[in-house]
Amino acid sequence: MKQDRTHNASFDTHSPYKVCKLASAQSRMSHVLQSTVLRGVLVVVGCPQLLGPPEAIQHTLRSTPGCKVNAFLLVPGFTATKIITRGQKWLQGDAFDPAKATDEECYEGVVDRASAADRFHARGAYSADEVVDVLFEALRTGGPFYIICQDHETTLQQDQGRMQWAFDDVLFRRSPLSRWSEQYKDEFKAVAAGFR
């Protein structure tokens, strides 16, 4: 467990219940924030037994009388960050080719933050700054729990339709990610035509 006293945040990736216990003792309003990717939510939301600790933490916190802590799950869509570049450097070691780096500061080896941002935006990506703006607006207003960041790649209706399809995979006992399976891809294509 490590505590960041500047921001009054506690982090424990191993025990959501420890987080809840520590959080319920807070004397001022605080937040627990976990992040996932939109594709992750498309897979697991709608099946409570598959949901991870963020939902359990939020439920415990809101069920604790006098608790001044709230929990959120940040779900960014397509976002331009250095995460992939740093991951590639770590995995590839000496074989990493910086000329192929594509992130928020560099696009195809050209180091120019403004140019990289423009090229990513043209492909539909949100900037990390846009994700942070959405996050802090949700924290300011107190919700919703699922902070789903739109990107410029798909519409809200497309994201919601894809999530509904994924939830229905559980309800209708289809295989996970059925929209890409041979059995359901044509049906999904027909249904998705209505996601404008």
Tell me which range, 4-8, 56-60, 116-120, is most confidently predicted by mean pLDDT.
Answer: 116-120
Q: Are residues 180 and 91 in the same domain?
A: no
Q: Which of these ranges, 102-111, 158-167, 187-196, has the smallest mean pLDDT?
A: 102-111
- Percent of the chain whose pLDDT exceeds 90: 20
Q: Are residues 73 and 83 in the same domain?
A: no
Q: What pLDDT, in 10s, does the model give residues 120-160?
A: 888 888 888 888 999 999 989 988 998 988 888 888 899 88
Q: Which residue has the higher pLDDT, 60 or 43?
A: 60
Q: What band does 109 get if pLDDT is binned at 50, 70 and 90?
A: confident
Q: What pLDDT, in 10s, does the model give residues 155-187?
A: 889 988 998 999 999 999 999 999 999 999 999
Question: What angle separates helix 53-62 from helix 16-24, to the nearest 10 degrees?
Answer: 30
Residue 138 half-sphere exposure toward CB, CA atoms < 13 A: 22
Q: Are residues 83 and 169 in the same domain?
A: no
Q: What band does 110 get if pLDDT is binned at 50, 70 and 90?
A: confident
Q: Are residues 68 and 35 in the same domain?
A: yes
Mean pLDDT of 104-119: 85
Q: Which of these ranges, 61-65, 71-75, 181-185, has the smallest mean pLDDT?
A: 61-65
Q: Are residues 141 and 58 in the same domain?
A: yes
pLDDT at position 23 is: 62
pLDDT at position 14 is: 42
Range of the domain at 189: 154-196
Q: Are residues 19 and 68 in the same domain?
A: yes
Q: Are residues 14 and 60 in the same domain?
A: yes
Look at the chain and report how many structural domains it folds into.
3
Mean pLDDT of 7-11: 40
Q: Are residues 119 and 132 in the same domain?
A: no
Q: Are residues 3 and 44 in the same domain?
A: yes
Quote the CA–CA distance of 107 and 104 in Å, as a whole number: 8
Q: Are residues 66 and 86 in the same domain?
A: no
Mean pLDDT of 11-15: 44
**pTM of the prediction?**
0.67
Q: Are residues 1 and 60 in the same domain?
A: yes
Q: What pLDDT, in 10s, does the model give residues 26-44?
A: 677 777 777 765 544 443 3
Q: Are residues 135 and 42 in the same domain?
A: yes
